[in-house]
Amino acid sequence: MTTEIKDTLRSDFEKMMRYCLQKNGDFGFNLFGDYAVSVLNFYVGSSILLLNEKRAGALFLVNLYNAGIRNAITPEDVEEIADVLTQDKTLNYQLLAPIFD
């Protein structure tokens, strides 16, 4: 994964996190998971992220989230979560709207 893709993933993650914190007061694990699955599938579908880079993107996003919750997720669970995110084919455009505003 290129530095440019990582920067895009980080920037969009931060936009989504700020939006959720302002609107809902939190950016919980379930919301993060729904967001991560959709954004990864959107990037793959848009050829921003190659399919073979999807797991690396998932791992990157999980690590960003984990850093925000003071590394409460164990390294083993980070790997498992990244695998689950990679396998999910869900794409919810409505959920992604805040990153495009």
pLDDT in the model for residue 47: 95
Enter the pTM of the model.
Answer: 0.95
For residue 54, being part of any structural domain is answered with yes
For residue 17, being part of any structural domain is answered with yes
For residue 73, being part of any structural domain is answered with yes
Q: Which domain holds residue 19?
A: 3-91
Q: How far apart are CA 27 and CA 29, in angstroms?
A: 7
User: Which residue bears the tokens 């590394």?
Assistant: 71
For residue 97, being part of any structural domain is answered with no
Domain tally, the chain:
1
Dihedral of CA atoms 42, 48, 54, 56 in degrees, nearest 10, equals -130
pLDDT band for position 101 (cuts 50, 70, 90) = confident
**Residues 53 and 41: beta-carbon distance below 8 Å:** no
Q: Residue 52 pLDDT more than 90?
A: yes
DSSP state of 46: T
For residue 98, being part of any structural domain is answered with no
